[in-house]
Chains A and B, each alone.
Chain A
Amino acid sequence: MSRSVAPTSRIALFRRANPALLCWAGLFAVALAVFATASVLRLGDLSPRFSESFLAYGLLPRGAFALLAGAALGLSGALLQRVLRNPAADASTLGIGSGAQLALGAATLFFPALLAEGRFLVAFLGGSGALLVVLALARLREYDPVTTVLCGLVVSLVCGALSATLILYGGDYMLSLHLWGGGTISQSGWRDSSLLFGALIAAILAALLLSRPLTLLGLSDESARGLGAGVGLVRLSVIAIATGLAATVTAAVGIIGFIGLMAANLARLSGARTVNAQLLAAPLMGAVLLFATDAAVLLFETLTTTSLATGAVTALLGGPLLLWLLPRLAHRAGPALSVPVRDIAHRRLALALLLAAIPAAFVLSLVLKPAMDGILLDLAAIEALSPLRWPRLLAGASAGAMLALAGTLLQRLTGNPVASPEVLGISSGAGLGLAVLLLFAPFAGTGPAFAATFAGSLLSLAAILVFARAAGLGPERLLLGGIAVASLAGAGVTLVMARGGPEASRLLDWMSGSTARVGPGLALAEAAILLVLLPLALLAHRWLSLLALGTPTARGLGLSPERAGSALITLAAVLTAAATLAVGPLSFVGLMAPHLARVAGFRRPADQLLAAPLIGALLMIVTDTAARSLAFPYQLPTGLFAALLGGPYLVVMISRQRR
């Protein structure tokens, strides 16, 4: 925030010859020039008649829409950041975009008629639903910025998993819909632009009316209430406006990542200090940002005759900003989300039973009939099916145990039960590795694919560690690095996905976590890695107890929180990378298993570190069996099937916390 701004001027940004303002004007001029050049190049080859209508109904609406969508997202971001007192809030970091996209996908598949009539309403409902879940989770920590972003990421991932399921279920038709979801701002007429224009004007007016209570909300709820502002109502209406804007954009062109995040933060950095100044500057800057990005994309597309999703490009631009911003967030060390404090009565017996249940479930799964309607009594049939079944069962169980261990480590380290291996960015990095490979070799075999995913995981792990070291280490910082890497890598994957073609369906297949192609070699390797890493994790239980008491106490007792934290996070990352190879990037076993272990009463770290992997392995055996049998003769992808359990589990978790 600039110190030179006089405290008395209300809209200081526009009172003075602000150098930042000149920069923005310059950027806009350059973007206009780029847009014009690209348009001229595009139109050059076309026949005069067609070029005229392409200009009027294709290019001009696209430019206008980019400006309007940027402004809408900028305003939405500024409102959300203000009302949540969280400079990392944005339609994409809070899950609004993913929620809207999921709702649109579901409506396309199940209620196509609804879509024709009210696609904006559908998007709004989906977006606000996702936001509600995020806020309900974050409320338990008093909307602590870091926790809120973390919850937003998890909810986005769950929504993404559900969307992917819909795509797999709906086939090619849905895949092309998903490509649209990458945020390609091509327009065919003025309908979307005029609609968005109306929504934007209404939202700006409403926001200006609310600007004074919004100023009070910038303090704290207590002080705002003390000054007579109706905190709940103001917050609700502001959030509704912001969600409406973001959902309208998503309904028209899909997810445009991080524009709101960038616009609102850049507005503050350019000297917009008061609420009013921010509410005016953020939309303007959002408009310029998105227009400039889209103009560059248009020029690139014209020159190379490929297609790029503008929304993913903005996410790639915004990712580094998030990287810069996250360590600077004020972290309110709120109370750890408490899980019922109770001890299981017969701890050793329960652990023994869990341990015994695994081989039992394994054998049972081996001898079940293909459609789960009885047990194979024929020894020959068992012998024939076993080689197909045991590798994926063993790989799944080992991966489940490893994810559960990684989840336990992360949840204990951060005192946050929403932390799961998925948010570390390791799996997204693996996806990016595969995406890059497929970009150059769309038909690469299984071996190179594994190599690429593993290289991607290692690279993202390195990125997290480098980032965290720069930001001062500590488990919280490491987690933030993970969130940023996850966002960046996710944007990269979307960019490759949105190109369509064979690489898109290959990526989708991997993301869905199909275990059908796991061979004996990989299965044995997974089991071996588990056997090596499990003891290491168990040895860490005392560190976990100490770290839970906070940095000063841990240090006072002679433990270096930085060193122990990095060691444990590295262990969690390696566990995740290994598991991802077998069951794909999304399963949320690492979220559920540690939690189930705690709820069951395995409260102490040592017990939880034993119980969670057992539960994780068991979960995966059951899931894998169900995934191969429920839709027999078709096979559901195991990873996605497990992730489908994770979504509802989050909701159940919230309702349990509410007591």
Chain B
Amino acid sequence: MSPRKKPAGSPPPADLFAIEALHHRVDGRVVLDVPQLRLRTGDVTGLIGPNGSGKSTMVRFIARQALPDTGRILFDGCKIAEFKGRDLARRLAYLPQTPPTTDGMTTRELVGLGRYPWHGALGRPGPADRAAIDRAIALTETGDFANRPVDHLSGGERQRVWLAMLIAQEARCLVLDEPTSALDVAHQAAMLHLVRRLSHELGLSVIIVLHDINMAARICDRLVALRGGRIVADGPADAIMQSETLQAIYGIPMGILRQPETGAPIGYVA
């Protein structure tokens, strides 16, 4: 197994992402206007905001699914537009909001596709590839249905399989676009805790779009809130979970409760 822990003591080389003067319009309407944003390596960063705030557009730019009209996006210190396709995929793994149907593929086959950036169209999958697949399946606890078609699994199981594919990709950075939007509360919590745990165990950076502010506050080191294409709040969860801040983000009066056991903040609509 390759070393996955963060090298202790040595500081992270640079910002994971450095975004400058990002500006994007669709049909003449400004959907994203971000003068500056830096994301740190190793953080679990949550992108939050109301519908139409630009968070999905933002995450698509971060994963280079699309390029903005203007602006500079540096990933690992290099311009993201200049990465070769497979080279970027070895460093950054992306889960779209609605994962596609999988055409009868089994879990193991789908997870195996995560190795494509490493062996390419023609290369023969070697022991390292098989080891990565086994490890990803073990980490996400998807071994029980490794040989079953993904389309036949439940929603929660399927999301775990997709996460396993991302893990098998062995990228240091995961970009997840609302990975819990189709799941019930229990499976949302399980999925997000899995993401959190993997991030810590493997030292991964995670950028995650979330709808539920309370879930986001629980698992993210840092929250970046967008509204109307602009960043309106940015900071650790505790700093964001204030009633004035939440009101600025969502545009309705909101209050904060404390969870009885842990004292963790919970936002509610006042």
Contacts and interface: CB of A to CB of B under 8 A. Distances in A.
A associates with B: yes
Contacts of B88: 558
Given A539-B122, A546-B113, A556 B93 contact: yes
B100 A549 contact: yes
B10 interface: no
Contacts of A540: 121
B87 A558 contact: yes
Interface string B17-44: 0000000000000000000000000000
B145 interface: no
B209 to A, nearest CB: 13
B87 A556 contact: no
Interface stretch (B102-110, B128-136, B195-203, B230-238): B102-110
Interface in B217-242: none
A549 B65 CA distance: 15
B267 interface: no
Contact of A555 (B65, B90, B149): B65
B65 A559 contact: no
B94 A556 contact: yes
B85 A552 contact: no
A560 interface: yes
Contact of A553 (B85, B100, B122, B152): B100
Best-surrounded residue of B90, B99, B100 (most CB of chain A within 10 A): B100
A557 B116 contact: yes
Given A553-B96, A556-B89, A604-B109, A341 B114 contact: no
Given A557-B116, A558-B86, A550 B100 contact: yes
A466 interface: no
Contacts of A539: 121-122
Given A542-B121, A559-B85, A604-B109, A552 B96 contact: yes
A539 B89 CA distance: 21
A631 interface: no
A550 B103 CA distance: 11
A557 B96 contact: no
A553 B99 CA distance: 8
B90 to A, nearest CB: 7
A559 B100 contact: no
Nearest to A334: B101
Nearest to A556: B94
A415 B151 CA distance: 15
A88 B85 CA distance: 36
B85 A555 contact: yes
A557 B104 contact: no
Given A341-B151, A557-B114, A603 B85 contact: no
A41 interface: no
Given A341-B151, A550-B96, A559 B109 contact: no
Interface in A531-557: 539-540, 542-543, 545-546, 548-550, 552-553, 555-557
B37 to A, nearest CB: 21
Nearest to B115: A557
Contacts of B122: 539, 542
A540 B86 CA distance: 16
Contacts of B117: 557-558
Interface in B28-82: 63-65
Contacts of A549: 99-100, 102-103, 113
A304 interface: no
A339 interface: yes
A2 interface: no
B205 interface: no
A548 B103 contact: yes
A603 B87 CA distance: 30
A361 B110 CA distance: 38
Nearest to A339: B104
B180 interface: no
Nearest to A560: B85
B104 A603 contact: yes
Contact of B116 (A339, A548, A550, A559): A559
A336 B101 CA distance: 7
Contacts of A335: 101
A338 interface: yes
B96 A556 contact: yes
B104 A556 contact: no
A335 to B, nearest CB: 5
Contacts of B103: 336, 415, 548-549
A560 B113 CA distance: 15
Contacts of B64: 555
B186 to A, nearest CB: 26
Contacts of A552: 65, 94, 96
Interface in A570-611: 603-604
Nearest to B114: A557
B83 to A, nearest CB: 9
B142 interface: no
B28 to A, nearest CB: 15
B140 interface: no
A558 B85 contact: yes
B159 interface: no
A545 B122 CA distance: 13
Interface in A317-372: 335-336, 338-339, 341
Interface in B180-224: none
A638 B169 CA distance: 49
Interface string A46-85: 0000000000000000000000000000000000000000
Interface string A394-437: 00000000000000000000010000000000000000000000
Contacts of B89: 556-558
A371 B64 CA distance: 64
Contact of A543 (B90, B121, B151): B121
Nearest to B122: A539
Nearest to B87: A558
A645 B203 CA distance: 59
Contacts of A553: 94, 96, 99-100
A341 B104 contact: yes
Best-surrounded residue of B84, B86, B102, B151 (most CB of chain A within 10 A): B102
B145 to A, nearest CB: 14
Nearest to A603: B104
Interface of A: 335-336, 338-339, 341, 415, 539-540, 542-543, 545-546, 548-550, 552-553, 555-560, 603-604
Given A338-B151, A553-B99, A555-B64, 18 more contacts: A336-B101, A339-B104, A542-B122, A549-B103, A552-B96, A553-B94, A556-B65, A556-B94, A557-B89, A557-B117, A557-B169, A558-B84, A558-B88, A558-B117, A559-B86, A559-B116, A560-B85, A604-B109
8 contacts: A539-B121, A540-B121, A542-B121, A548-B100, A548-B102, A550-B96, A557-B169, A559-B85
Task: Report the 7 A-B pairs with minimum CB-CB distance, sorted nearest first.
Answer: A558-B89, A558-B86, A556-B94, A550-B100, A552-B96, A341-B104, A558-B117
